[in-house]
Amino acid sequence: MAAVGKNITESQAIKRIDELSKELEHHNHLYYIKNSPEISDYEFDTLLNELKDIEKLYPELIKPDSPTQSVGGAVADGFNSVPHLVPMMSIDNISDEQGAYDFDGRVKRVLEITDDIVYIAEPKFDGVSASLTYKNGLLTQGATRGNGTVGEEITSNLKTIRTIPLRLKGNQKIPELIEIRGEVLYPIEAFKALNRELAEEGEPVFANPRNAASGAIRQLDSGITANRPLDFYAWGVGEVIGFEINLEQEIVDALRLWGFKVEDHIMKCANIDEAISYQKEIESARDNLPYEADGIVLKVNRKNYQRELGSTAKHPRWNIAYKFKPRQATTRINDITVQVGRVGLLTPVAELEPVKISGITIKRASLHTDDIIKDRDIRVGDTVLIQRAGDVIPEVVMPILDKRTGNEAEFTMPEKCPSCNTPVEREGSYYYCPNLSCPAQLKGRIKHLASRKSFDIEGLGEKIVEQLMQEGLIKDMADIFYLKKEDFVPLERFAEKSATNLEDEIEKSKKVSFERFINALSIRHVGERVAQILSQNFSSIDDLMNATDESLVDIHTIGEEIAKSIVHFFEQETNRELVAKMLASGIEIEHGEKTKISDKFADQSFVFTGSLQDMTRDEAQELVQNHGGRATSSVTKKTSYVVVGKDPGSKHDKAVSLGVEILTEEEFQKLVKSN
């Protein structure tokens, strides 16, 4: 805890309480609403503990809206608000053994006992808490934690997570009603793959798995959530009707029997000493866990003890979070450089004085955007706090202002690309180099073009590409397909045979599927999945090059930003010339045969909303496409039908207002089967 002098005056306390309250509310908003925290949990807890200590000295200064009195967070716009039957309160935390002994002592004093307290101990997930309501075993509602009392209704999104059962399983008695509490997580290995994919596509990466999970479950289109490899671990319950619970261990056992994923490392501890040993064991193994964990949670096992202990306005008194040591360090920023990605994204990177975190030497840390640098007031020469989470590129949390000497230099993004000197363009918080022949981009674009998911040219590695560029043999992506063995022989590492092999590989690659061809172009925001969708909705590259924003947005999962990027790419004459030059080299685009049953839905478009019972939304959309129709994501006057499942959203209301014909799932299936 932060130390607060006993001699702080009331006027000083009033001023400091105001400062801390404003700062904590700011960071609460960033963490819960914006999903973009500026400081670590450790720094936040330090500020909060300082405020707690001052309020202990001057309890008359505690305000009803103090950060110490609220659970934190709020409901975001775009989702319906739903109340939790039992509030999802936050958990108080400790950071050392003495804190654990103090907690155990408080529990015994309140209960007026001296016997050892039995605890249930489990890893503390660093994800996004959610509440699932089951009525007679059937999942009827899913919600975010929100402000603890009211959350955001995201049932359709949560239903897409495979580790969430739609109906409780097993022979265990099924409650009449139960709120299951748990954590939505982005597994670390999947998170690493996501960031690699985003980086390859020139997109900004996520700072940590929690942000990635939060963004995924709060999508307005559940189809996007379904494409994310999210996981869900159940860890507790809220309201329960028709099921008797006497021990916390019984909850753990019941959750497993009902079909939930429950942490394997949960342990029943006979006393606080065993709980402390458990914390040390899990902390030492944290890098081997498949998810991010920032501590353990201790829960008093007996439910009658829990009821007797009760809660404060903010925290239950029967549980505590015992945090791990933060994976953080302080070091100096020697310089801020700018990295140019494959599709031209300019990313500022802090060049650090080397420092070790969790046994790994850190030399560089992404600063993500110019806005983050300005908001955090990060300067060259600053001593900074850095952290590493999820084994991603470390990030700079904040500068240590007390360490400033006055010689630090403010950073500004360059007006011209550091690789090719082309004036940069700004798109929201991001800067891009528009020059497709920019050396930094070209190397990345050709590397991507040669990759397995594009033209799959074996032997065309980064070093060879660099040599070809240095020799002036390739100035754009199309030049690759005009190279012959005599171009390779003079280069380092090449002999007659290896040169012949590479020429053969290039020639073999000229037969390519439509989706791989699209993916190879490195259009901003268009990765492997979007390329596949585009290949299924356009009959030729000419059709795609002439597509409009409206026709693209009409395709399911293609949003306005992606559509705008595709149209902008092909509006550039140099890009059209590039495609023509590639095709002139002898490239043959192979179009896969589409499964087509009939043309009964030709020129008709369908929008699906709500939860379908007998098929998934993807299966329904595929049915439409197989009968010559289009499955789109937005309702317009041109929409032929809106198919509504359970709990339809705003698309149903829009269909009514526009006079679009509405079908139930049963009516849709009859339409499919009709002649």
Question: Any idea what the CATH number is for the domain that residue 109 is in?
Answer: 3.30.470.30
Q: What are phi and psi of 144, to 5 degrees?
A: -75, 170
C-alpha to C-alpha distance for 306 and 304, rounded to whole angstroms: 5
**Dihedral sign of CA atoms 575, 581, 584, 585 in order:** negative
Q: Is residue 425 part of a domain?
A: no
Cα Rg of the chain, angstroms: 29
Selection from 610, 460, 523, 494 nearest residue 202 by Cα:
523
Q: Do residues 384 and 532 both lie within one domain?
A: no
Helix runs in 259-414, H state only: 272-284, 303-309, 370-376
More confident of the two residues 241 and 556: 241
Q: At which of 478, 509, 540 does a domain end?
A: 509
Of the candidate ranges 231-245, 312-326, 627-641, the one whose mean pLDDT is the lowest: 627-641
Mean pLDDT of 116-128: 95
Q: Is residue 265 part of a domain?
A: yes
Instruction: Using the predicted structure, report yes or no on whether residue 631 has a pLDDT greater than 70.
Output: yes
C-alpha to C-alpha distance for 196 and 190, rounded to whole angstroms: 10
User: pLDDT above 70 covers what percent of the chain?
Assistant: 93
Number of residues assigned to the chain? 675
Instruction: Using the predicted structure, report yes or no on whether residue 71 has a pLDDT greater than 60.
Output: no
The pLDDT of residue 72 is 41
Q: Do residues 314 and 336 both lie within one domain?
A: no
Q: Is residue 484 part of a domain?
A: yes
More confident of the two residues 31 and 197: 197
The pLDDT of residue 199 is 72
The answer for residues whose C-beta is within 8 angstroms of residue 542's C-beta and 6 or more apart is none
The pLDDT of residue 73 is 44
How many other C-beta atoms can be found within 10 angstroms of the C-beta atom of residue 343? 24
Q: Do residues 384 and 470 both lie within one domain?
A: no
Instruction: Using the predicted structure, report yes or no on whether residue 202 has a pLDDT greater than 70.
Output: no
Instruction: Using the predicted structure, report yes or no on whether residue 1 has a pLDDT greater than 60.
Output: no
Report the DSSP beta bridge partners of residue 605. Answer: 630
The answer for residues whose C-beta is within 8 angstroms of residue 493's C-beta and 6 or more apart is 463, 464
What pLDDT, in 10s, does the model give residues 142-165? Answer: 999 988 899 999 988 898 888 898
The pLDDT of residue 32 is 47
SS3 labels along 169-197: CCCCCCCCEEEEEEEEECCHHHHHHHHHH
Q: Do residues 150 and 288 both lie within one domain?
A: yes
CATH number of the domain residue 630 falls in: 3.40.50.10190
More confident of the two residues 148 and 359: 148
Q: Do residues 244 and 306 both lie within one domain?
A: yes
Q: Is residue 422 part of a domain?
A: no
How many other C-beta atoms can be found within 10 angstroms of the C-beta atom of residue 645? 20
C-alpha to C-alpha distance for 447 and 99, rounded to whole angstroms: 53
DSSP 3-state assignment of 373?
helix
Task: Please give the structure tokens belonging to residue 216.
Answer: 């995924």
C-alpha to C-alpha distance for 296 and 420, rounded to whole angstroms: 50
Q: Do residues 107 and 213 both lie within one domain?
A: yes
Of the candidate ranges 20-34, 174-188, 421-435, 605-619, the one whose mean pLDDT is the lowest: 20-34
Q: Is residue 415 part of a domain?
A: no
Q: Do residues 453 and 367 both lie within one domain?
A: no
Tally of structural domains, the chain: 6
Selection from 359, 403, 366 nearest residue 381 by Cα:
403
Of the candidate ranges 74-78, 211-215, 243-247, 587-591, the one whose mean pLDDT is the lowest: 74-78
User: pLDDT above 90 covers what percent of the chain?
Assistant: 44
Could you give the angle at the alpha carbon of 261 between the alpha carbons of 116 and 320, nearest 5°?
35
The answer for residues whose C-beta is within 8 angstroms of residue 141's C-beta and 6 or more apart is 82, 132, 133, 153, 155
Average of per-residue pLDDT values in the chain: 87
Question: What angle do helix axes 439-449 and 462-470 make, rounded to 10 degrees?
Answer: 130
| Position 4 confidence tier, pLDDT thresholds 50, 70, 90 | low
DSSP for 215-236, written as a single string: HHHT-SSHHHHHTS--EEEEEE
Q: At which of 484, 509, 534 does a domain end?
A: 509
Q: Which of 3-7, 284-288, 528-532 has the highest mean pLDDT?
A: 284-288
C-alpha to C-alpha distance for 246 and 161, rounded to whole angstroms: 30
C-alpha to C-alpha distance for 90 and 85, rounded to whole angstroms: 16
Q: Is residue 426 part of a domain?
A: no
Of the candidate ranges 288-292, 509-513, 555-559, 664-668, the one whose mean pLDDT is the lowest: 555-559
C-alpha to C-alpha distance for 439 and 245, rounded to whole angstroms: 65
Which structural domain, as residue segments, surrounds residue 43?
Answer: 10-61
Q: Do residues 103 and 211 both lie within one domain?
A: yes
Q: Do residues 575 and 482 both lie within one domain?
A: no
Q: Is residue 251 part of a domain?
A: yes
Mean pLDDT of 433-446: 85
Task: Please give the structure tokens belonging to residue 366.
Answer: 């992404």
Mean pLDDT of 232-237: 96
Instruction: Using the predicted structure, report yes or no on whether residue 566 has a pLDDT greater than 50.
Output: yes
Q: Do residues 528 and 637 both lie within one domain?
A: no
Mean pLDDT of 253-278: 94
Q: Do residues 223 and 355 both lie within one domain?
A: no
How many other C-beta atoms can be found within 10 angstroms of the C-beta atom of residue 424? 20
Q: Do residues 526 and 662 both lie within one domain?
A: no
The pLDDT of residue 117 is 97
Q: Is the pTM of this model over 0.75?
A: no
Instruction: Using the predicted structure, report yes or no on whether residue 592 has a pLDDT greater than 90.
Output: no
Q: Is residue 377 part of a domain?
A: yes
Of the candidate ranges 47-56, 302-311, 501-510, the one whose mean pLDDT is the lowest: 47-56
CATH number of the domain residue 16 falls in: 1.10.287.610
The pLDDT of residue 416 is 95
C-alpha to C-alpha distance for 495 and 307, rounded to whole angstroms: 79
Contact 248, 120 (CB under 8 A): yes
Q: At which of 285, 307, 323 does a domain end?
A: 323
124 included as an active-site residue: yes
| Position 316 confidence tier, pLDDT thresholds 50, 70, 90 | very high
CATH number of the domain residue 573 falls in: 1.10.150.20
Residue of 52, 124, 159, 323 marked catalytic: 124
